[in-house]
Amino acid sequence: MSCLTLTLLLTACGGGGSGPSPAPPAIQTQELAPFDAALVKNWPGLPNVGMSCFMNTSIKLLAAMPEMDPFLAANPGDGAKVKAVRSSLREVISFIRSGGPQGQDVRTLVQAVLAAFREHPQLRQYVAGVGDTGGYSDALLRSILSVLGSADEFKIRSVRKEINPHRSPRPAYGAETITALNIAQDPALGGFDLAPINSVGEFLHRLTSGPGTFDLGGGGTLTTHIHPTHIPRNVLLDVAHLNPTKALQLSDQAEVPVYAVDQARQSETRTREVHLQAAAASIFRGGHLWAVIRGDDGWYANDDSRPSRLVDRSEMDEQPDGRGGVARSINLILFKHD
């Protein structure tokens, strides 16, 4: 079983064959099983269909997001291609949450999802490499959310304030959504001081509660402030640790401030802090991508065809790469209101 890294960004895959999969047989439609954190330890593995560990990981993350359930329900207004996406995901997620009941062919369920993705114009590009090079779980998952009509449900809404004294004496304001954490010390990329930062959650708090400084060259600097104004029930974040100089931990929790922003008066008031708890994540290590899901009694790894297994926190954190550097490994993380 192998995976390929195609770029400096994450590309993940898994072994188990190549080339297009045959069209799967029809599967029986059923109601969506509810999410139960006590049953995460019983979640079954999903076999690779070609190089599909990135797709399997996306499915496991969706299974950990009960707030997605209304978007997986059958919709009479769906066209055939969207209907196939919803129904195939509903089937495999019910199978996962039920602990992999006997009598169902899990490979058939995964093939049905892949077939539905290949037929949908917004999704087919993200699974085109399943028979060869794999793909990106973050791009695939965001596209699935868009197809299901929930693209804006998991974004932190905020106001971005920019101060550029060389351009204007007044700060500039603009609406912004936070979907990614670009963690960097490079002044050209934001220049955050990471010395006191040890985890993804600490960086999220730092990003939303203090200024970032960009080096514009020629002695010019741009100071930014990100003021969150609405924190959704679930927050799904892409984590990009750029040129890492220290290993970061996968956070169990994070505190994010919420602001009231008056752009006309150029004022921001912190109104409260929202406590978030990590519920699921995707981890990239050794050329391979897998999911970790929080259960009632700890974190469980969900790695392709292997059954869930309890993992130590250290398995999820970034680690030295053996060459004096750091291996970036935290790919996606799902936070929920505590």
Q: Residue 30 has what pLDDT?
A: 57
Residue 190 tokens read as 């934001």
Q: How many CA atoms lie within 13 A of 194 on its CB side?
A: 22
Using CA atoms, how far residue 210 sits from 30, 153, 235, 245, 269, in Å, is 48, 25, 20, 21, 13
Q: CB neighbours (10 Å) of residue 101?
A: 10
- Say whether 307 sits in a helix, a strand or coil: coil
Using CA atoms, how far residue 17 sits from 12, 22, 48, 88, in Å, is 15, 12, 8, 21
3-state helix, strand, coil in the chain (%, to 5): 25, 30, 45
User: 195 exposed, middle or buried (CB, 10 Å; 0-12, 13-18, 19+)?
Assistant: exposed
Q: Residue 287 has what pLDDT?
A: 81
Q: Which residues contact 94 (CB under 8 A, 6 or more apart)?
A: 30, 31, 32, 33
Q: Residue 7 has what pLDDT?
A: 32
Q: Residue 170 has what pLDDT?
A: 86
| Closest-CA residue to 20 (of 144, 117, 136) | 117
Q: Residue 188 has what pLDDT?
A: 67
- Say whether 6 sits in a helix, a strand or coil: coil
Using CA atoms, how far residue 298 sits from 14, 61, 95, 309, in Å, is 26, 16, 21, 10
Q: Residue 76 has what pLDDT?
A: 92
Contact 135, 12 (CB under 8 A): yes
Sign of CA dihedral 68, 73, 76, 81: positive
| Closest-CA residue to 210 (of 231, 226, 229, 230) | 226
Using CA atoms, how far residue 262 sits from 116, 165, 169, in Å, is 46, 20, 17
Q: Work out the angle at residue 231's Cα, subtended by the Cα atoms of residues 228 and 234, and round it to the nearest 5 degrees.
A: 145
Contact 85, 117 (CB under 8 A): yes
pLDDT tens, the chain, 338 aa long? 333 232 333 444 443 333 333 333 333 445 899 999 999 999 999 999 888 899 999 999 999 999 999 999 999 999 999 999 999 999 999 999 999 998 789 999 999 999 999 999 999 999 988 877 778 888 999 999 999 999 888 999 999 999 887 777 889 999 999 999 988 877 666 667 888 899 999 999 999 998 888 777 777 788 889 999 999 999 999 999 888 888 999 999 999 999 999 999 999 999 999 999 999 999 998 788 999 999 999 999 999 999 999 999 888 999 888 787 888 889 999 999 87
Q: CB neighbours (10 Å) of residue 39?
A: 17
| Closest-CA residue to 293 (of 334, 329, 338, 330) | 334
| Closest-CA residue to 211 (of 201, 197, 222) | 222
In this prediction the pTM is 0.86
User: What are the backbone dihedrals phi and psi of residue 118, each rounded to the nearest 5 degrees, phi first?
Assistant: -65, -25
194 conformational bin, left if phi > 0, alpha if psi -120 to 50, beta if neither: alpha
CA–CA separation, 154 and 135 (whole Å): 22
